[in-house]
């Protein structure tokens, strides 16, 4: 194949909020196959996930990918197999896994956690309702938070891609759910489409007052996408034996200091027998098929609202990604760089 | 009975380190029985536990007792029943539960979590090897931390009353145990008497360097009595899926700000799938008899070193209590205010 491959690489580590200048776009002929066992994939949809902000910060020696300066930006992707020497990975099949901000890429399926998407499921659905964010919400609420019928579940970033699923899974389990979001439009969508009756617009309402009013019996499970000040307010309302599920800390991602935010009231955690629990979707890989089946059933019964915020154009991937941090996205934010016929966008 | 009852009451809320002037001693004739169902007990041993520092701070609306100004100081106690109208609570029996810094007191057994100590166990053993601190260590290591054979357990305050038991329970379970303490004498005792080979003297050694040297494969379970800077150092060495057991935060008890200490590296917690777990002994009340049997067996096999630091004298209870915070106690710190024959000390 004689193709020109577009790619966005890391130009420099962002200082503070991510800017377009932190990325550099170039084009180069596609490299030949690096050897047997590799698939050539064409990326269609790239998930804009807050965690990518940490991958490019390069500050945290830790348990997750670091993107070096000059590297293509890593991102969860839905992709089409274009070349393969393995019949288990047929050409034309749709896959999801870790991709990069490139049109084409030679990948090793194991290294990138790539799996086949069954026929009949679109790339959009594979990245949305059945995607990483929905699964993260599922295991966070059910396995980590152990939310039970009759308990109160508090979700931050509740109109976000992960949060909206977490709030709805809580509702389906029979929890009293309180969701926080940052605009009247998001609040309306949560109430009317997601069936979350109790919503706090943190940008327009006093969060401690509203928490006191909406959670008179306290909170049993906190599903936190935000961190920072919210985590303190939530902890102050957490009941004895409460579980705080730490999914993300988007409030602090733009801050270079790993110790951003305020110290937690540790004595409240101790005396309250409260647990704070970090987790990653990878912890539950073995249970993903079961979770997807469950989510599929609930979706079929009309119990789940989901929306994708699809933004076309390879050239504006940085702007699409940046929308996450201004909170202007509505639902799962996906950068679309090729259509289903493989036409570049 | 015509007795004069000595009592120590809270004179004022401590600012910074506890001082003798924060307490006031008085004597008053013993009040008559407040009604049926109450026991009159004479306290013999009063446990000096760091948690009492929080009870007297009055700053934390929360899940635990607050001692008001003018109130007698609450403390776990071993006591003798002096008067009772209930045959289930016979006069002369030894009990443990929540007491106060007084010679005598009318108590309701349920309100104070009082239970009978079987014949043949001394008040000293009841408060030491079988007492609240040992049980707290037991459930913290086994139930909360889920420490397993072959894992690395890191214990702060390891020569303290709770810590020494936590370290030894870890050793018995087959963990590689690393203990932190603050003096060469304590380090020697931990090594020679408790069988903890890896000890860090935090006052004389560089903790991060020593942690790196002693825990080349990281730490799986942290049992933390100290908080503050230690918790950061421990978190930096905690493995994926590590469990941090929050037992105490003695490093911060003298600070009025509930948000003392530094913010935690939340992203490390999330990406590491690490959990921070508060707990109280009360969470495991139902399992106490089984735990005591287990501890008794281990003690009989000579697997457990334990030492009590018994300090006689009602008049110097404040000084005895203050020894906790200077770290000058050696083992479970008990204020003895009456001997086994009921003579006042």
**pLDDT tens, residue by residue, B84-143:** 999 999 999 999 999 999 999 999 999 998 989 988 889 999 999 989 999 999 999 999
For B277-294, what is the mean pLDDT?
Answer: 93
pLDDT, tens digit (0-9, with 9 covering 90-100), for B296-321: 999 999 999 999 999 999 999 999 99
Residue A66: pLDDT band with limits 50, 70, 90: confident
ipTM over 0.95: no
pLDDT at residue A345, rounded to an integer: 92
Asked whether residue A280 falls in the same domain as residue A145, the answer is yes
Of B283, B22, B289, the residue nearest B136 (C-alpha): B283
- How far does the CA of residue B77 sit from the closest CA of chain A (Å)? 20
> Which chain B residues touch A277 with a CB distance below 8 Å?
273, 275-276
The reply to whether B194 and B69 lie within a common domain is: no
B139 and B205 both lie in a single domain: yes
CA-to-CA separations, A89 to A1, A117, A177, B17, in angstroms, rounded? 19, 11, 42, 67
Q: Is residue B93 part of a domain?
A: yes
Which range marks the domain in which residue A47 is found?
4-128+306-336
3-state secondary structure (DSSP) of residue A6: strand
Q: Is residue B39 part of a domain?
A: yes
A99/A172 same-domain check: no
Query: From CA A244, how far away is CA A56, in angstroms rounded?
Result: 27
In the three-class reduction of DSSP (H, G, I as helix; E, B as strand; rest coil), residue B238 is classed as strand
Average pLDDT for chain A:
92
Report how far Cα B97 is from the mean position of its chain's Cα atoms.
13
Residue B146 CA to residue B141 CA, distance in Å, equals 6
The verdict on a CB contact (< 8 Å) between B252 and A266 is: yes
Determine, for residues B258 and A268 on separate chains, whether the beta-carbon distance falls below 8 Å. Answer: yes
Q: How many domains does chain B have?
A: 2
Is residue A344 included in any domain, yes or no? no
Give me the sign of the Cα torsion angle B130, B133, B134, B135: positive
pLDDT of A1 > 60? The answer is no
Q: Output the DSSP codes for A180-223.
A: EESSHHHHHHHHHTT---EEEETTTS-HHHHHHHH-TT-EEEEE
pLDDT score for B258: 57
Element (H, E) at B290: helix B288-300
CA A286 to chain B, closest CA, distance in angstroms equals 16
Q: Does A146 touch chain B (CB under 8 A)?
A: no
Measured from the Cβ of residue B256, the count of other Cβ atoms closer than 10 Å reads 12
Taking the Cβ of residue A228 and every Cβ of chain B, the question of whether any pair is shorter than 8 Å is answered with: no
**CB of A230 closer than 8 Å to CB of A180:** yes
Q: Which residues of B touch A262 (CB under 8 A)?
A: 259, 263
Position A66 in a domain: yes
- Give percent of chain A with pLDDT exceeding 70: 95
Question: Tokens 């903890």 label which residue?
Answer: B196
- Tell me: the pLDDT tens digits for A220-256? 999 999 998 899 999 999 999 999 999 988 777 666 5
Contact A59/B at CB under 8 A: no
Token code pair at residue A217: 């019996």
With an 8 Å Cβ cutoff, are B270 and A280 in contact?
A: yes
Does residue B257 form part of some domain?
Answer: yes
Do residues B159 and B279 share a domain? yes
- A267 pLDDT more than 90: no
| Separation of alpha carbons B164 and B144, rounded Å | 17
Q: Say whether pLDDT at B61 is over 90.
A: no
At B230, the pLDDT band (50, 70, 90 cuts) reads very high
The reply to whether B217 and B320 lie within a common domain is: no
- Tell me how long chain B is: 345
Q: Do residues B162 and B290 both lie within one domain?
A: yes
The two tokens of residue A162 are 């992960």
Say which CATH number the domain at B108 has. Answer: 3.90.180.10
Which of B 38-57 lie inside 8 A of A, CB atoms?
Answer: 54
- Same-domain status, B117 and B189: no
Residue with tokens 């300066």: A69
Per-residue pLDDT at B331: 86
3-state secondary structure of B104: strand
Please say if the pLDDT value at position A338 is more than 70.
yes
For residue A280, is it within any domain? yes
Cα separation, A212 vs B326, in Å, equals 40
Does A149 lie in the same domain as A122? Answer: no
Task: Report angle CA A79, A81, A85 to the nearest 5 degrees.
Answer: 150
**B109 with B197, same domain?**
no
Q: In sequence order, which residues have a C-beta less than 8 Å from that of residue A133 and are 6 or more positions away?
A: A47, A49, A161, A162, A165, A332
Q: How far apart are CA A190 and CA A198, in angstroms?
A: 9
B102 in the same domain as B48: yes
User: What does the pLDDT look like over B153-204, one tens digit per residue?
Assistant: 999 999 999 999 999 999 999 999 999 999 999 999 999 999 999 999 999 9
The reply to whether A98 falls in a domain is yes
For the domain that residue B155 is a member of, what is the CATH number? 3.40.50.720
Residue A319 domain-assigned?
A: yes
Average pLDDT over residues B282-307: 94
Strand-strand pairing, B39-47 and B23-29: unpaired
Classify residue B42 by burial, with Cβ atoms within 10 Å: 0-12, 13-18, 19+: buried
Distance from CA of A173 to the nearest CA of B (A): 24
Calpha distance A87→A81 (Å, rounded)? 11
Q: Which of B64, B249, B273 sits opposite A283 (nearest CB)?
A: B273
User: Do B163 and B123 share a structural domain?
Assistant: no
Say whether pLDDT at A259 is over 70.
Answer: no
**DSSP code for B72:** B
B288: left (phi over 0), alpha (psi -120 to 50) or beta: alpha
Contact residues, chain A, for B54 at CB < 8 Å: 267, 271
- Dig out the tokens for A101 from the structure: 């901000």
């Amino acid at each position: 194949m004689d193709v020109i491959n577009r790619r966005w690489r890391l130009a420099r580590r962002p200082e503070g909020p991510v800017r377009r200048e932190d990325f550099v776009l170039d084009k180069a002929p596609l490299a030949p196959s690096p050897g047997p066992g590799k698939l050539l994939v064409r990326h269609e949809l790239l998930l804009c996930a807050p965690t990518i902000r940490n991958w490019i910060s390069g500050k945290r020696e830790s348990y997750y990918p670091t993107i070096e300066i000059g590297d293509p930006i890593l991102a969860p992707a839905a992709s089409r197999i274009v070349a393969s020497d393995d019949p288990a990975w047929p050409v034309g099949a749709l896959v999801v896994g870790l991709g990069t901000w490139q049109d084409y890429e030679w990948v090793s399926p194991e290294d990138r956690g790539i799996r086949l998407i069954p026929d009949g499921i679109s790339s959009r659905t594979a990245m949305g309702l059945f995607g990483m964010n929905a699964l993260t919400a599922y295991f966070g609420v059910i396995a980590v938070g152990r939310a039970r019928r009759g308990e109160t579940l508090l979700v931050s970033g509740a109109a976000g891609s992960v949060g909206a699923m977490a709030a709805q899974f809580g509702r389906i389990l029979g929890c009293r759910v309180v969701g926080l979001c940052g605009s009247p439009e998001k609040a309306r969508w949560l109430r009317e489409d997601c069936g979350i009756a109790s919503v706090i617009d943190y940008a327009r309402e006093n969060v401690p007052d509203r928490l006191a009013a909406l959670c008179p019996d306290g909170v049993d499970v906190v599903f936190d996408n935000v961190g920072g000040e919210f985590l303190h307010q939530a902890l102050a309302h957490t009941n004895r034996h409460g579980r705080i599920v730490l999914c993300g800390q988007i409030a602090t991602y733009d801050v270079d200091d790993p110790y951003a935010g305020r110290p937690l009231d540790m004595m409240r955690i101790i005396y309250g027998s409260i647990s704070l629990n970090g987790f990653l979707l990878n912890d539950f890989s073995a249970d993903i098929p079961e979770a997807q089946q469950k989510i599929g059933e609930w979706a079929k019964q009309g119990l789940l609202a989901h929306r994708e915020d699809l933004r076309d154009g390879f050239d504006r991937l940085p702007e699409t990604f940046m929308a996450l941090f201004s909170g202007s996205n509505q639902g799962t934010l996906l950068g679309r760089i090729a259509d289903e016929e493989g036409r570049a966008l």
